[in-house]
Chains A and B, each alone.
Chain A
Amino acid sequence: MTRVQMELLQGTLDMLIMKALALGEMHGLGISRRIEQITKGTFQVKPGSLFPALHRMEEEGWLSASWGESENNRRAKYYQLTKTGRRQLETETQRWGRISLAIANALEA
């Protein structure tokens, strides 16, 4: 197994979900697969983390949801980034950048 199983920090998971949705609306499984893809398989999001996160973010107003048909004609709930969500993604990205830089510096020191 090359995949690293990680417990995602809540903020990180939110950020990854929003990043995954930045390109367009997607259903739960799609988001999960997309995250695997963009992190090159480092992160595998389990449904037990994914659904609570999606519902929470929906209630925060970062995501909006609508029902639609999947590729295989399954009824699925599609999530989409709202304006607030985009702003949140930006702030999160900047924050993450600062933190990772700081940690990288700290570890080199």
Chain B
Amino acid sequence: MRLERMVERMASAVRNLLRRPQVDAELDEEVRGYVEMLADEKMTRGLTQNEARREAKMELGGVEQVKEQTREVRAGHFVETLWRDLQYAARMLRKNPGFTIVAVLTLALGIGANTAVFSAIDAILLRPLPFPDGDQLMQVSQYNPKVKSPNPFVAPIRLEDWNRMNSTFQALTGYYAEDDSETSGALPEKITIAFVSPRFLQVWGVAPELGRDFSPEEERVGGAPAALISNRYWRRRFGENPKALGKQLRIGKAGIPIVGIMPSSFLFPDHDVDVWLTVPIGAPYTESRDNTWYTVVGRLKKGVTLAQARANLGTVQLQLGKQYPKPDADIAVNIQPLKNTIVGDVGRSFWMLFGAVSLLLLIACTNIAALLLARSSHRRHEISIRFALGASQRAILRQLLTETFLLALVGAALGLVMADAGAKIFQRLAADLPRVGEIHLDATIVLYTLVCSVVVTLLCGFFPALRATREGISASLAQTSAVQVSSRHRLQWLLVGVQVALAVMLLAGAGLLVRSFEELARVSPGFEPTHILTFHISASYAETADMKGLTHRIDGILDSLRALPGISETATSATLPGVPSEYAQELKIVEGPIDPNHKITADSRSVSPDYFATMQIPLLDGEVCREQTGGLDVMVNRSFANTYFPQSSAVGHHLQVLGALAKFYPTAMIRGIVGDAREEGLNHAPEPTVYFCFSAPMPDPYYLVRTHNLPMTMAETVRKRLAQLEPGRSVFGISPLSDHLSESFSENRLRMFLLAFFAATAIALACIGLYGTLSYSVAVRKREIGLRIALGAMRGQIATLFLFKGLGVCALGCAAGLALAIGFSRLLAGMLYGVSPTDVLTLSAVVVMVLALAAVASLVPAVRASRVNPMTALRYE
């Protein structure tokens, strides 16, 4: 029944729209017939024909009104009026190209910036990961709640236990990646290998594009070797030839056949992976419960919540703790949505930027609202006529809003184009951020801009339209553009003030970020980051089986590189200096008492003994450590010495590593004390630090080479020398240390640039708003100005009057903006370095800048006001 009626109504709508002239003619005839019959009726009661006609018409009310009311109930009426309103709006906008261009550009800028940031937020934060049911994917890690050190990696055997015993995951898998060389070609090629546990592709829910997944035999010890390769590697190495399947890769001594090629969308653990290999279960090195090296990802069963999974796996681990008290009783499980761990904490930056662009859009809206207010006063005449002709207030309101909507729509379309271009630039600038590759224009984004334009229409169109129509006929036709300094004027100035306040707020934020960056550049890192070349040499973890050989190999490399002309020092380090890599380690001083309330923790770093000379970290006390065959030497920094040995010298004391790693570290002697260096990043004050002196803390450490000239000029020399020394290994990631340092601030820098850009746009819009409003005010008050000049006012006085009007409003706006900036300063906390969120210098610089710009924007209209010719102004009306 309901459906039937809907269909009927649709049919009526179509009929009404298609046969409009006929339907209208019939209505006309029907109403006319009614009047005539009414008149006939009255004539039978003895009135003359004319009197009867007149009374009948009076009884009817306005013929046009009745017809309009009837049309309004007709199906399709909405579409009809919308179409008419749109046509009319388009005509109005075409007639005022100046206004239209300014408004469309302003809105395009506001909506475009907003959409660009939203598309990044949507791709990075909101959308699920690009895997089937990506929200079911969880990162699972193990940790020891008693030790501060976060070692998130999982032992393979424990992963198998979890898989067998849990009831909330479809499957759990693990991987670890390392760089190695593939040597089947003419030259060794560096490849990134991910070693994966069984069930790897099952967890991702992705199948190879060509070939097949690992077979169960290949995942077990003794099974045949097999490799999956990435699409990128397939393209690079095999030119997308399907015959790559079955070809042998040579990695180390093993030849491994390719069994599958992954689709290009599959980029896990990251987009660098070239090859996936299995870690067979049951291999001897996977049997120890202390060998932890997997990063674990699990896929939840359908409908299972995070809390259920946490509870379930927690119970499983408790059972394992009973079964294997050592070490499982000390281990707890942590589960996080994989998306969170991939995206990390870039969310804050993005939401901050989204806030900034929303303010920008608000400023744009305010600007348009002020423009519309000014324009509506020009259109009073037209609106009055339409009222007089029987249009209802609603109809006129609708018409005015349609005009704004059309503006917003055109602005949004242009904004969409800008957002798309902006997103492309952003992808280039922010290539290091997670998931930026996923940003693209799609239906969600288009829908978002549509919603934006509706919101914009209501925000900036509703109030001016309401004001324009409220006065109705009372602003009668007779009254032309008489001079008035009405309250409408005051509202416009309020809008200017709001724009200034919002712009000041954005500028204050941008200013603080810029100042933080300046402060950061001024920081002395405690080491000398220039003239350092860094690189890697491919190696496999398997080499750790022979630590002596490994150390010998690396020392040999360091020595022969040091002998090259143009190179003064060489060193290795497990981590790069100045690049965040926090690894806190709990320690005990062998000679001292253990105070459980004062645990000794230090940032622990593994470096070769020549690290200090290479990085030019000064020796303060004792001597530089040496590589020991039996024992272990450590160096500590000044903070460590001052914190834990306030009375005596630290040199000569012994340290013992506590926790899970204890057995890997012999008791170490403190050989010397070095200066504090900002190892954890330039924005982190130095922490107590212990340097363990190994040249081979891992098979593939960072190599650091101090060069006489610019670091990259030595790259080829180093590469050639290494090709002689290690023909079977590839050298990769050659870059100056300064590049790494600046990369580690890429998010900060991007955030600063974008906010500064938005703030600059905001202040530009605010100035345009000020200029427009002041110009309008001058235009409206022309006669008054003329009169004043005629009565003897100095032209300078007139100019000052308008200049101060503009500046006064801006000053109020600045005050409000400062209050807002201080009120919201909390939002920036954690993003600032070395400046307080209420830094007086920054805030006053912002105010001075805004007032200076406001003065410039006000000057032109003010001067124009002073040039008014009294004769023309007074004759004008």
Q: Which residues of A contact B (CB under 8 A)?
A: 27-29, 46-48, 51-53, 55-56, 59-61, 70, 72, 74-77
Contact = CB atoms under 8 A, between A and B. Distances in A.
A70 B30 CA distance: 12
Contacts of A51: 27, 30-31, 34, 66-67, 69-70
Interface stretch (B35-43, B222-230, B318-326, B528-536): B35-43
A76 to B, nearest CB: 5
B75 A28 contact: no
B792 interface: no
A77 B37 CA distance: 12
B41 A61 contact: no
A60 B70 CA distance: 14
Q: Is the interface of A mostly helix, strand, loop or mixed?
A: helix
Contact of B60 (A47, A56, A77): A47
Contact of A74 (B26, B40, B66, B69): B40
By size class, the interface of chain B is: 20 to 34
A84 B67 CA distance: 26
Nearest to B11: A59
A-B interface, 10 closest residue pairs, ranked by CB to CB distance from nearest: A51-B70, A52-B73, A59-B12, A56-B73, A77-B30, A29-B37, A76-B33, A52-B70, A28-B34, A72-B40
Contacts of B217: none
Interface of B: 5, 8-9, 12, 26-27, 29-31, 33-34, 36-38, 40-41, 59-61, 65-67, 69-70, 72-75
Contacts of B30: 28, 51, 76-77
A29 B37 CA distance: 7
A61 B40 contact: no
Given A27-B37, A48-B66, 20 more contacts: A27-B33, A28-B30, A28-B33, A28-B34, A48-B61, A52-B70, A52-B72, A53-B73, A55-B70, A56-B73, A59-B9, A59-B74, A60-B9, A70-B33, A70-B37, A72-B37, A72-B40, A74-B37, A76-B37, A77-B29
B33 A74 contact: yes
A40 B650 CA distance: 112
A48 B38 CA distance: 15
A45 B12 CA distance: 25
Contacts of B26: 77
A59 B69 CA distance: 15
A19 B445 CA distance: 54
Contact of B74 (A48, A55, A61): A55
Contacts of A61: 5, 8
Contacts of B75: 59
B816 to A, nearest CB: 48
B475 to A, nearest CB: 26
Contact of A77 (B5, B33, B41): B33
A29 B5 contact: no
A51 B9 CA distance: 18
A48 B65 contact: yes
5 contacts: A46-B61, A48-B69, A51-B34, A52-B72, A59-B12
Contacts of A77: 26, 29-30, 33
Contacts of B60: 47
B31 A47 contact: yes
Contacts of A27: 33-34, 37
Nearest to B61: A48
A29 B74 contact: no
Nearest to B75: A59
Given A46-B61, A48-B66, A61-B5, A55 B37 contact: no
A18 B515 CA distance: 78
B511 to A, nearest CB: 60
A53 B69 CA distance: 10
Contacts of A60: 5, 8-9
A105 to B, nearest CB: 31
Contacts of A59: 8-9, 12, 73-75
B70 A74 contact: no
A74 B236 CA distance: 88
A33 to B, nearest CB: 8
A60 B75 CA distance: 10
Contacts of A46: 61
Contacts of A70: 33, 37
A54 to B, nearest CB: 8
Contact of A47 (B5, B8, B40, B66): B66
